[in-house]
Chains A and B, each alone.
Chain A
Amino acid sequence: MATFPSRAKVVIIGAGIVGNSVAYHLANLGWRDLLLIDKGPLPNPGGSTGHASNFIYLVDHNKEMTALTVESANQYKAWDVYTTCGGLEVARTETRMNELRRRMDSAKNWAIDDARLVTPAEIAGLVPYVDASILVGGFYTPGVGVVDSLRFGTLCREKAEAMGALTVFANTEVLGIGVEDERVANVRTSRGTVEAEYVVIACGVWSPKVAEMAGSHIPLTPTVHQMADYGPVPLFERSSKAIEYPIVRDMDVLMYERQDGVGIEVGSYAHRSILHDPEDIPSNEAAALSPTEFPFTQADFDPQLEDALELMPSILGDERVGQKYAINGLIALTPDGMPLLGETPEVRGLWSAAAVWVKEGPAAGKCVAEWMVHGEPSIDVGQSDISRFHGHQKTRQHTKRRAFEAFPKTYGIVHPAEQYLSDRPLRKSPMYDWQVAHEAEFFEVAGWERPQWYRSNAALVAKYGVQARPNEWDARWWSPIINAEHLAMREAAGIFDLSAFALFDIVGPGALESVQKVALRQMDVAVGKVVYTPVLSEAGGFKSDLTIMRLGRDHFRVVTGGAHGMADLKWFRDNLAPGASLVDQTIAYTTIGLWGPRARDIAQAITRADMSNEAFPFGTCRIVEMGSQLVLASRISYVGDLGWELYVPMEQGQRLWDELWAAGEPMGLTACGIGVYGTTGRLEKGYRAYGMELDGDYTIVEAGMAPARIKAQDFVGREAVLRQLAEPPVALLCTLTVDDHASPRTGERRYMLGRQPITTAAGAPITDAKGRRSYATSAGASPSTGKHVLFAYLPPDHAVEGSHLFVQYFDELYPVTVAVVGARPLFDPDNLRVRAASPAQGAVPA
Chain B
Amino acid sequence: MPPVVVLVTTASGAADEVSLQALTLGRRIAAGGPVHALVLADEAAAAGLGDWGATEVHVARHAAFTRAAPDAAARVLGDLADQVGAAAVLGPGTEAGNTILARVAARAGLPFAANCTALTLGAPTTLTRSRWGGSLLEEAALHADRAIVTTAPHAIAAEPVSGVAAPAPAATVTPFDARLDEADLAVRVVDRVPAAAGGLSLAEAKVVVSGGRGVGSAEGFRPVEELAGLLGAAVGCSRAVTISGWRSHTDQVGQTGTKIAPNLYIAAGISGATQHLAGARGAKKILAINKDAEAPIMAAADYAVIGDLHAILPAISAEIRRARGA
| Chain A residues near B (Cβ < 8 Å) | 40-44, 170-171, 284-285, 324
Provide 12 A-B residue pairs closer than 8 Å at the C-beta atoms, listed in order of the A residue. Answer: A40-B294, A41-B292, A41-B295, A43-B291, A44-B292, A170-B293, A170-B294, A171-B293, A171-B294, A284-B294, A285-B296, A324-B244
Cα–Cα distance between A41 and B295 once the two chains are bound (Å)? 8
Q: How far is the CA of A42 from the CA of B294 in the complex (A)?
A: 9
Which B residues are CB-close (under 8 A) to A42? 292
Report the Cα distance A420→B101, complex, angstroms.
66
Contact digits for B289-307, partner A, Cβ 8 Å, 1 yes 0 no? 0011111100000000000
> How many angstroms from the CA of A43 to the CA of B290 in the assembled complex?
12
CB closest chain-A residue, reference B274: A288
Give the residue among A40, A41, A170, A284 with the most B Cβ atoms within 10 A: A41
Q: Would B293 and A41 count as touching, CB distance under 8 A?
A: yes
Q: Smallest CB-CB separation from A1: which chain B residue?
A: B293
B: number of interface residues (CB 8 Å): 7
A620 to chain B, nearest CB (A): 68
B293 cross-chain contacts in A, Cβ below 8 A: 41, 170-171
Shortest beta-carbon distance from B178 to chain A in Å: 49
A171 CA to B291 CA in the complex, in Å?
A: 14
A44 to B292, CA, bound (A): 8
- CA separation between A41 and B293, bound complex, in Å? 7
- Over the window 231-247 of chain B, the binary record of Cβ atoms lying under 8 Å from chain A Cβ atoms (1 yes, 0 no) is 00000000000001000
A42 to B295, CA, bound (A): 10
CB distance from A474 to the nearest CB of B (A): 54
Q: Which residues of B contact A43 (CB under 8 A)?
A: 291
- Set of chain A residues within 8 Å of B244, measured between Cβ atoms: 324
Please measure, in the bound complex, the distance between the C-alpha atom of A296 and the C-alpha atom of B291, giving whole angstroms: 26
* Nearest Cβ on chain A to B296's Cβ, whole angstroms: 7
Query: Please, how many angstroms separate the alpha-carbon atoms of A36 and B118 in the complex?
Result: 48
What separation, in Å, do the CA atoms of A41 and B272 have in the docked complex? 15
A262's closest neighbor in chain B, by CB? B217
Q: How far is the CA of A41 from the CA of B296 in the complex (A)?
A: 11
Total contacts A-B at CB 8 Å: 15
Given pairs A41-B293, A41-B294, A170-B293, 6 additional interface contacts (CB within 8 A): A41-B295, A43-B291, A44-B292, A171-B293, A285-B296, A324-B244
- Give min CB distance, A636 to chain B, whole Å: 62
A548 to B71, CA, bound (A): 96
CB within 8 Å of A: which residues of B?
A: 244, 291-296
Contacts of A284 in B (CB 8 A): 294
Residues of B within 8 A of A285 (CB): 296
**B296 surroundings in chain A (CB, below 8 A):** 285
Residues of A within 8 A of B291 (CB): 43
Closest A residue to B273 by CB, please name it: A288
Q: How far is the CA of A43 from the CA of B292 in the complex (A)?
A: 8
Closest 10 pairs between A and B when the two form their complex, measured CB to CB: A41-B294, A41-B292, A171-B294, A41-B293, A170-B294, A41-B295, A43-B291, A170-B293, A285-B296, A284-B294
Task: Give chain A residues whose Cβ lies under 8 Å from the Cβ of B292.
Answer: 41-42, 44
Residue of B nearest to A261 (CB): B217
B308 CB → nearest A CB, Å: 11
Output the nearest chain B residue to A284 by Cβ-Cβ distance.
Answer: B294
Contacts of A41 in B (CB 8 A): 292-295
Give Cα distance in the complex from A170 to B293, angstroms: 9
Which A-chain residue is minimally distant from B299 (CB atoms)? A285
Nearest residue (CB) in B for A285 is B296
A170 to B298, CA, bound (A): 15
With both beta carbons as reference points, the residue of chain B lying nearest to A44 in the complex is identified as B292
Q: How far is the CA of A532 from the CA of B88 in the complex (A)?
A: 95
Q: For B217, give the chain A residue with the smallest CB separation.
A: A261
A170 to B294, CA, bound (A): 9
Q: How far apart are B32's CB and chain A's nearest CB, in angstroms?
A: 46
Complex: how many Å from CA A171 to CA B296? Answer: 13
**Bound state CA distance, A43 and B291, in angstroms?**
8
> Chain B nearest CB: distance from A233 CB in Å?
14
Chain B residues, Cβ within 8 Å of A324? 244
A-side contacts of B295, CB under 8 Å: 41
A309: min CB distance to chain B, Å: 24
Tell me, in angstroms, the Cα distance from A738 to B296 when the chains sit together: 67
CA of A40 to CA of B295, assembled, Å: 10
**Measured between C-beta atoms, what is the minimum distance from A138 to chain B in Å?**
34
Closest to A42 in B: B292
* Bound-complex Cα distance A170 to B295 (A): 12
The minimal Cβ–Cβ distance linking A32 to chain B, given in whole angstroms, is 26
Tell me the complex Cα distance, A171–B244, Å.
Answer: 30
Q: Which residue of B lies closest to A232 (CB)?
A: B245
Cα distance A521–B280 in the bound complex, in angstroms: 76
| Residue of B whose beta carbon sits closest to that of A40 | B294
Nearest chain A CB to B262's CB is how many angstroms away?
Answer: 27
**Chain A, Cβ-Cβ closest to B245:** A232
Chain B residues near A44: list those with CB within 8 A. Answer: 292
Q: What is the chain B residue whose CB lies nearest that of A324? A: B244
**In the docked arrangement, what's the CA distance between A40 and B296, Å?**
12
- The interface residues of chain A lying within 8 Å CB-to-CB of B294 are 40-41, 170-171, 284
Least Cβ–Cβ distance between B29 and chain A, in angstroms: 37
**Chain A nearest CB: distance from B48 CB in Å?**
46
- The closest CB in chain B to the CB of A288 belongs to B273
Q: How far is the CB of B277 from chain A (nearest CB, A)?
A: 14
Q: Give bound CA distance, A116 to B292, whole Å.
A: 44
A171 to B295, CA, bound (A): 11
CA distance A40 to B293 in the complex (A): 10
What's the Cα separation between A772 and B294 when bound, in Å? 49
| Minimal beta-carbon separation of B205 from chain A (angstroms) | 30
Closest to B292 in A: A41
Among B293, B295, B296, the one with the most A-chain Cβ atoms within 10 Å of its Cβ is B293
Q: Give Cα A358 to B238, complex, Å.
A: 31
Alpha-carbon distance A170/B291, docked complex (angstroms): 13
Q: How far does the alpha carbon of A171 sit from the alpha carbon of B293 in the complex, in Å?
A: 9
Q: How far is the CA of A285 from the CA of B297 in the complex (A)?
A: 12
Question: Distance in Å from the Cβ of A242 to the closest Cβ of chain B?
Answer: 12
Nearest A residue to B298 via CB reads A41
A41 and B299 CA atoms in complex are apart in Å by 14
What B residues does A40 contact at CB under 8 A?
A: 294
A150 to chain B, nearest CB (A): 11
Name the distance in Å between B280's Cβ and chain A's nearest Cβ. 19
Complex CA distance for A285 and B292, rounded to whole angstroms:
13
Q: Which residues of B sit under 8 angstroms from A171, Cβ to Cβ?
A: 293-294
Residue of A nearest to B244 (CB): A324
Q: Smallest distance from the beta carbon of B113 to chain A beta carbons, Å?
A: 28
| Closest chain A residue to B243, Cβ basis | A324
Cα of A834 to Cα of B168 in the assembled complex, Å: 117
- Report the minimum CB–CB distance from B306 to chain A (whole Å): 10
Distance in Å from the Cβ of B192 to the closest Cβ of chain A?
36
State the CA gap A324–B244 with chains docked (Å): 8
The answer for the CA separation of A747 and B293 in the assembled complex, in Å, is 67
| A40 to B292 alpha-carbon distance, docked (Å) | 10
Q: How far is the CB of B80 from chain A (nearest CB, A)?
A: 46
Most chain A C-beta atoms within 10 Å of own C-beta, residue among B244, B291, B292, B296 = B292
Q: How far is the CA of A515 from the CA of B229 in the complex (A)?
A: 78
Q: How far is the CA of A44 from the CA of B295 in the complex (A)?
A: 11
Tell me the bound Cα distance from A165 to B70 in angstroms: 70
Give CA–CA (A40, B291) in the complex, Å. Answer: 13
Q: How far is the CA of A324 from the CA of B213 in the complex (A)?
A: 14
Complex: how many Å from CA A557 to CA B223?
A: 73
CB distance from A666 to the nearest CB of B (A): 79
Task: Give the residue name and chain of the A residue nearest to B293 (CB).
Answer: A41
Rounded to whole angstroms, the CA-CA distance of A78 and B16 in the bound complex is 64
A350, chain B: closest CB distance, angstroms: 28
Min Cβ gap A641→B in Å is: 68
A723 → chain B closest CB, angstroms: 51
CB distance from B278 to the nearest CB of A (A): 16
Complex Cα distance, B271 from A285, in Å, reads 11
Least Cβ–Cβ distance between B256 and chain A, in angstroms? 17
A533 to B191, CA, bound (A): 97
Query: What is the CA–CA distance of A44 and B294 in the complex, to the nearest angstrom?
Result: 11
Least distance between B291 CB and chain A CB atoms (Å): 7
B309 to chain A, nearest CB (A): 15
Smallest Cβ distance from B203 to chain A, in angstroms? 28
CB distance from A46 to the nearest CB of B (A): 10
